[in-house]
Amino acid sequence: MNEKAMRSQRKWQTIIWVAIILVFTYLASDITNFNIIHGIATLPNAITWIFSNLTITSETLERLPKILEKLAETILMSIAATTTATIFSLFLGLMGSKTTGTSSVLGVFARFIASVARNIPVVAWALILLLSFGQNSMTGYLALFVGSLGFLTRAFIETIDEASHSAVEALRATGSTYFQIVFKAVIPQCLPQMISWILFMIETNIRSATLVGILTGTGIGYSFDLYYKTLNYSAVALVTFVIVISVIIIELMSNRIRKVIL
Amino acid sequence: MEATTTLVKRRANGRISIKSGNKVEQVMAGTIFVLTLLTILAFFFFNYAGLDISRAIPETAYNLKTMFLEPALSHFTWGEAIYQVGITLGLAFLATILGAVIAFFLALMAATNLSNLWVSKTVRIVVAFIRAVPTVLWVLIFAIAAGLGSEAAVLGMLFHSIAYLVKAFSEAFEEVDRGILEALTATGANWWHIITHAVLPSTFTYLLSWTFLRFEINFSVAVAMGAAAGAGGIGFELFMASGFYFDMREVGLITYIILLLAIVLEIMSTQLKKRYFPAKAVR
Amino acid sequence: MTLVEVKNLGKSYNAQTRVLKDVSFEVEAGEFVSIIGLSGAGKSTLLRCINRMVEIDEGNVIFDGLDVGSLNKQELRKMRTNIGMIFQHYNLVPRLSVIENVLHGRLGYKTTLQGVFNRFTELEKEHAFFLLEKLGIADHAYKRCDQLSGGQQQRVGIARSLIQEPKLVLCDEPIASLDPNSSEIIMDYLKSITKELNIACIVNLHQVEIACSYSDRIIGLSKGNVVFDGPSFMLTSAHTDEIYGTKTVETRKLVTV
């Protein structure tokens, strides 16, 4: 009897959940003018269009060196933004973690900075910075830097909190100073996880860099936008292809590194 | 205090080495070295055209001050603002929910314990490819391929949501106890029975939390698509306010709205995370 | 010569529970003292008050003529270099090599930068190898600590405390996570340290038999009070009953404390 009651309760719970989701889906489709039937109906056309227009021709291949140069700019920008943000995040992470934090005021400060930097989307930072920094790599770099700072600080705080506290205690008992404890007990334990986060951030940043590039007119995003607006779809295909290849290569490389160090 | 010489490793200068010098350390040191080198290289290669730091920094500081201390709406009303936020949330919701449904079936095919090796491999490769194309490119490509509109934005965002959720869902499925699957197979249950009676009940809360996490991500993606791909919503208003009207006070208010929503979503998903998988790091 | 003097020590983590109540005893240089008691009796806290890993609330701890409770940060660091500490879970940095972990014991003697950049002298490194050899684990010197067995890790912990050249070693349940065989090895090493190097050793234990067979003196702790303090041979079953509450009714109460 009891089991039956529980079952019917679960059944009702499921039904309510499904109903809520359906209502939200309806509301969302209504407000955004999204028509699922229309969406599905256009899908075959869209795919046909993609296959017939997004083909790389030999004449677009001539643009490859120029595109690769832009790609290099984007990748370097992503890496530079990540590594420089890492340095600041490391200190914010040490301040924000319970294990290594020295004062609660600094801890709250670190968490606040991280939260604001992370939750304001990268596009917003890009648009704000664009106004004064202009169309150059610095704008994209700074936008990615702020986003990375927020994300990495949170990741580092979690990593340091998760690391075992026992070695910290042991070093404290030997009379070590604060920075000795940080560099000899905390960092060695957290380093593999931190490197893993840094690699993840680089992967994410390369994708975001394309987006930021479209807005700020730099790097591979700019190339894409240019060809897209001039309806040069063959070049659009080439740019997309180049991005895909580089993202996959970087992912494979970081997975290899992760496999060894974690 | 004489140590045996055989066990002591010495460096070239005769000093005793204390590093274990294993592969892990080498790889970590190598990674850090290469990244440092590339960073230095990056600053040489940057295109600094039109950059005037001495002007840009105080100007940005002034803009930030205007944004955050004097936020105001001037080109549209509060009602419209809420409506635009609704559109952004709507786009994010549609991409998430459709993505979750499609990802569920794909994840069943990708989970190694529920599917055969080849199907699983194929799904994984396709998903890896989809992930490699940035969302904004998907949206822009669909915008021309399917005609501009919310369908393009949702489709574009859908792709990444599927890729993300397939990975998360299939990992959840793979953690289902093998014994349960075996027991059900032994009773003669078919594949769909196993899914609906064993796999789904034991992973449902996981799937729900992952879906919500993706919703949180999709919200900021939807903002970005509004700004960069003309998908509408609050992101588009942000783009207009900063790039068209140069109205920093409006940019400030829109940023506050986005920040507030993002923080609310983050708090909700952290609560879910704490409740359902406390130990797992979420990407 | 008195090395450690604990006078009327009291400690409470919150208003309701007082972990230590009016604890007083003295430890001579080169003495081997075991502190026995149930878990929750305050053994760990007592040990950590001696090198002020936890703050002292009431009373005093005098170590080597210094009032531990009133030292400033710098003086406290300096004092801690004279006190080695050994932990139940070894508390090593798992990803670092054995030799690096041993050398961590020297950090207290270094400036921050010397420590951060591994500026250890050749003499210190030789000393580390000497200790590892003495403890029979020199051939693991370049292995990562997490590749060692529990007993071996604890020996690394001992080496780390000995390289400090301490006057006192505090051992917090050093054998609680080890099998009987490794436990015996570890206890033998601890015993020989006190004998050969004239280092005082205070060991938290919960096994009475081991405490009796190794230590010169036993301090029994129950609910934060010293209920026995004397040479091992004077410990009677009446005392252990009091310490461990072996009387059936009492057990329940104590366990829940």
CA distance linking residue B233 with residue B231, whole number of Å:
7
Residue-level pLDDT at B5: 54
Q: Which residues of B are less than 8 Å from C139 in CB distance?
A: 7
- Min Cα distance B145 → chain A (Å) is 5
| pLDDT score at B283 | 38
- The token pair that represents C127 in the structure block: 């000393």
Query: How much is the average pLDDT of C135-153?
Result: 91
**What pairs with residue C168 in β-bridges?**
C83, C200
Is the same domain home to B97 and B22?
no
Q: Which pLDDT score is estimated for A246?
A: 92
CB B169 within 8 A of CB B196: no
Residue with tokens 């986005």: B258
The 8 Å CB, 24+ separation contacts for C234-240 are C235/C208, C240/C208
Determine contact: B4 vs chain A, CB below 8 A.
no
Residue of C nearest to A191 (CA): C95
Nearest to A166 among C76, C89, C170 (CB): C89
Which token pair is C83? 């006190």
Q: Which residue has the higher pLDDT, A97 or B15?
A: A97
List Cβ neighbours of A249 (8 Å cut-off, separation of 6 or more): none
Beta bridge partners of C20: C11
Residue A18 pLDDT: 84
Answer yes or no: is pLDDT of C257 > 60.
Answer: no
Average pLDDT on C163-190 reads 92
Taking only the tens place, the pLDDT of each residue in C4-28 is 999 999 998 887 788 898 899 999 9
Q: How far is A49 from chain B (nearest CA, A)?
A: 6
Higher-confidence residue of A259 and B180: namely A259
Beta strands across the sheet bearing C168-172 = C83-86, C168-172, C200-205, C32-36, C217-222, C225-231
Band of residue B277 on the pLDDT scale cut at 50, 70, 90: low
Residues C68-85, mean pLDDT to the nearest whole number = 92
Contact of C176 with chain A, judged by CB distance below 8 Å, is answered with no
**Residue B281: its pLDDT value, please?**
40
Chain A environment of B125 (Cβ under 8 Å): none
Q: How far apart are CA A262 and CA A250, in angstroms?
A: 18
Q: How would residue B89 be classed by pLDDT, with cut points 50, 70 and 90?
A: very high
List, in order, residues 6 or more apart from C32 with CB less than 8 Å away.
Answer: C190, C191, C194, C200, C201, C203, C214, C215, C216, C217
Residue C250 has pLDDT above 50, yes or no: no
- pLDDT of A142 > 70? The answer is yes
**Chain A touching partners, 3 or more CB pairs below 8 A:** B, C
pLDDT over 70 percentage in chain B: 94
- Is residue B52 in some structural domain? no
Kindly report the nearest CA distance between residue C140 and chain A, in angstroms: 19
Residue B23 maps to a domain: yes
CA–CA distances in Å: residue A137 to residues A73, A200, A218, A226: 8, 22, 6, 17
Interval A37-44 mean pLDDT: 79
Strand partners, C7: C60
Same domain, B39 and B172: no
DSSP A33: T
Instruction: Give the CATH number for residue B229.
Output: 1.10.3720.10
DSSP-derived secondary structure letter, B16: B
- H helices of chain B, in order, are 23-45, 53-69, 78-110, 117-132, 135-145, 150-174, 178-186, 191-194, 200-228, 234-243, 248-276
* C217, two tokens: 């003196």
Q: pLDDT tens, A175-222?
A: 999 999 999 999 999 999 999 999 999 999 998 898 898 888 888 999
- Among chain A residues, the shortest Cα distance to B130 is held by A244
pLDDT in the model for residue C247: 56
- For residues B115 and B53, the answer to whether their CB atoms sit within 8 Å is no
Angle ∠(B221,B227,B232) on CA atoms, nearest 5:
85
Q: Which element (helix H / strand E) includes A191?
A: helix A187-216
Type of residue numbered A63 = R
What DSSP line would sit under A217-241, residue for residue?
Answer: T-HHHHHHHHHHHTT-HHHHHHHHH
Sort out which chain B residues have CB atoms less than 8 A from C123's CB and list them: 1
Instruction: Please give the residue that has the higher pLDDT: either C120 or B20.
Output: C120
Radius of gyration of chain C (CA): 18
> Looking at the domain assignment, is residue B186 inside a domain?
yes
* Same domain assignment for residues B97 and B236: yes
Cβ B166 vs Cβ B107: under 8 Å:
yes
Q: How confident is the model at residue B278 (pLDDT cuts 50, 70, 90)?
A: very low
Instruction: Name the nearest CA neighbour of A139 among B47, B256, B235, B63.
Output: B47
- Domain shared by B118 and B231, yes or no: yes
d(CA A233, CA B238): 28
pLDDT digits (tens, 9 = 90+) for A210-235: 889 888 888 899 999 999 889 888 89
Give the rounded percent of residues in chain C with a pLDDT score beyond 70.
95
Mean pLDDT of chain C: 89
- Single-letter amino acid, residue B64: L
Query: What is the structure's pLDDT at C164?
Result: 93
Give the model confidence (pLDDT) of B20-61 as tens digits: 778 888 899 999 999 999 999 999 888 787 778 888 888 888
User: Nearest CB to B47: which of A121, A137, A158?
Assistant: A137
Chain C neighbors of A178, CB-CB under 8 A: 112
B144 plus B272 within the same structural domain: yes
The residue type of A117 is: A
pLDDT at B139 (0 to 100): 86
Nearest to C95 among A177, A180, A189 (CB): A189
In terms of C-beta distances under 8 Å and separation of at least 24 residues, what long-range contacts does A55-63 make, across chains too?
A55/A234, A55/A237, A56/A234, A56/A237, A56/A238, A56/A241, A57/A234, A59/A234, A60/A232, A60/A234, A60/A235, A60/A237, A60/A238, A61/A238, A63/A235, A63/A238
Do B211 and B263 belong to one domain? yes
Interchain pair C126, B1: CB under 8 A: yes
- Residue-range domain boundaries for chain C: 2-82+166-256, 91-165
Chain A residues touching residue B232 (CB < 8 angstroms): 32
Q: What is the pLDDT of residues A5-31, one digit of tens each?
A: 777 777 787 788 888 888 988 888 888
**B55 belongs to a structural domain:** no
Q: Which chains touch B (3 or more CB pairs under 8 A)?
A: A, C
* A102 in contact with C, Cβ within 8 Å: no
Q: Is C133 on the interface with B (CB under 8 A)?
A: yes
Please report where in the chains the tokens 């938290």 appear, as a residue: C204
C-alpha A4/C-alpha B100 separation (Å) is 30
Cβ separation B1–C99 shorter than 8 A: no
Give me the residues of B, 12-71, that contact A with CB < 8 A: 23-24, 27-28, 31-32, 35-36, 38-39, 41-43, 45-52, 55-57, 59-60, 63-64, 67
What ipTM goes with this model? 0.86
Q: How large a percentage of chain B has pLDDT more than 90?
A: 26
Closest approach of A158 to chain C, Cα-based (Å): 18
Residue C85 has phi, psi (to 5 degrees) of -140, 135
Contacts of B138 (CB under 8 A, 6+ apart): B155, B156, B157, B159, B160
A87 in B contact zone (CB under 8 Å): no
Q: Does C108 touch chain A (CB under 8 A)?
A: yes
DSSP assignment of chain C equals: -EEEEEEEEEEESSSS-EEEEEEEEEEETT-EEEEE--TTSSHHHHHHHHTTSS---EEEEEETTEEGGG--HHHHHHHHTTEEEE-TT----TTSBHHHHHHGGGGGGS-HHHHHTT---HHHHHHHHHHHHHTT-GGGTTSBGGGS-HHHHHHHHHHHHHTT--SEEEEESTTTTS-HHHHHHHHHHHHHHHHHH--EEEEEES-HHHHHHH-SEEEEEETTEEEEEEEGGG--HHHHHHHHT-SHHHHHHHHH-
User: What is the pTM (predicted TM-score) of this model?
Assistant: 0.87
Contacts of B40 (CB under 8 A, 6+ apart): none
Query: How much of chain A, in percent, has pLDDT values that exceed 70?
Result: 98
User: Domain C2-82+166-256 is of which CATH architecture?
Assistant: 3-Layer(aba) Sandwich (3.40)
The alpha carbon of residue A82 is apart from the nearest alpha carbon of chain C, in Å, by: 24
Asked if residue B196 belongs to a domain, the reply is yes
What domains, with CATH codes, occur in chain A?
Answer: 2-53 (no CATH), 58-261 (1.10.3720.10)
| Closest CB from B28, B47, B227 relative to A127 | B227
pLDDT in tens, B252-270: 999 999 999 999 998 888 8
Whole-number Cα distances in Å, C142 to B1, B9, C114: 19, 9, 21
- CA-to-CA distance for B234 and B226, rounded, in angstroms? 7
Residue A117's contacts (CB-CB under 8 Å, 6 or more residues apart) are A146, A147, A149, A150, A153
Tokens of B117: 């090796």
Tokens 């180049």 -> residue = A242
CB–CB contacts below 8 A, A to C: 89
A188 interface with B at CB cutoff 8 Å = no
**Number of structural domains chain B divides into:** 2
C-proximal residues of A, 148-167, CB under 8 Å: 164, 166-167
Residues 6+ apart with CB under 8 A from C87: A166, A169, A170, C157, C172, C173, C174
Q: Are strands C168-172 and C66-67 parallel, antiparallel or unpaired?
A: unpaired
How does the average pLDDT of chain A come out, rounded? Answer: 88
DSSP conformational letter for B282: -
DSSP class of B10: B
Show which residues on chain B lie within 8 Å of chain C, measured between beta carbons.
1-4, 7-9, 15-16, 18-22, 24
Domain-located, residue B185: yes
pLDDT of residue B55: 85
Domain that holds residue B18: 8-46
